[in-house]
Amino acid sequence: MEYKPISGREFPRFSAIKTFFRLPHVEVDADYDVGIVGIPYDGGVSYRPGARFAPTKVREASSLGRGFHWSRGYNVLEQKKVADIGDCPTVPIDQAQTYEKIENFFSTLLQYNKKFVSIGGDHSTTLPVLRALKKKYQVPLGFIHFDAHLDTYPAAWGCEYHHGSFVRHAIEEKLIDPKKTIQIGIRGPLTGKDDLDFVNKHGIQVITVDDIRIQGLEKFILQLPQFSQGPTYLSFDIDCLDPAYAPGTGTPVVGGLTTYETQRILRALKIDQLVGADIVEVSPPYDTSEITALAAVDTLFELLCLL
């Protein structure tokens, strides 16, 4: 089986059935290296819904995606066998069942020793993925978290599991190691001080937009920590970007990063053992001219290179 995108000369990029990067759609146990998978669930959203439509939209927008990385000097789609492995099953009206299905799906994928990038879904979908990874690797993971929000919020409406609380649960369940966790792109305002107290108590490194901008990007990327110990996971909430660069998202916060800044940060990361990654909170109904979907496609491309 050849893991190549459909040729744009044979089938122009606006044609053919949509898969991520026009790659073959295969079963989870096929002989690919990296699977791209959708998690179409947004039942954990507290404000604007729509992230359930992201996998389909990102597939469509990725028709224009190409594999050769300008600054890395190689074609990631030729170096590795990358495939679209479809969508993880979900239950739109039941979070507990959805979490179970996500954890089972990713446990199966990990049994076959696959790497993956998933396209969410709201950020609550990352928690069951981390549970599956913990079962596989048996140690708390290093964690690189791009977001406007800390996602360490308390329960909301009496519900523990929502898109603003997954980091708190991931630490309490010892799925990620707070000492090997960084959060990038964080900015205010916050509902209260609880979430900040939580990250301070656990010694999580929080990098705000000010921390990047005031000294300048070039200086900042030299200070990024190296992830050289143990398995590491990367989660990219599209709202780390300014709403000008990602309007289609559930809880936009102004004063964010640009797509260029996140590209440069992703290229500068040194991660010895990246075991998986996700892009979450893309909400196509709130998108304009596919700006957000295209940002997700480019981030997906950078993540494939990191893997």
List contacts with Mn ion (CB under 5 A).
Answer: 123, 147-149, 151, 237, 239
When the beta carbons of 29 and 160 are compared against Mn ion, the nearer one is 160
- Please say which residue, 123 or 169, places its beta carbon nearer to Mn ion: 123
Query: Among residues 123 and 134, whose Cβ is nearest to Mn ion?
Result: 123
Q: Taking the complex as a whole, how short is the minimal distance between the CB of residue 153 and Mn ion, in angstroms?
A: 10
> Taking the complex as a whole, how short is the minimal distance between the CB of residue 123 and Mn ion, in angstroms?
4
**CB of 44 vs Mn ion, minimal distance in Å:** 10
Judged by beta carbon, residue 90 or residue 251, the one nearer Mn ion is 251
In the complex, the smallest distance separating the C-beta of residue 34 from Mn ion, rounded to whole angstroms, is: 23
Tokens of 86: 């479809």
Name residue 130's amino acid.
L
Q: Which is nearer to Mn ion, 48 or 136 (CB)?
A: 48
CB of 235 to Mn ion, least distance (A): 8
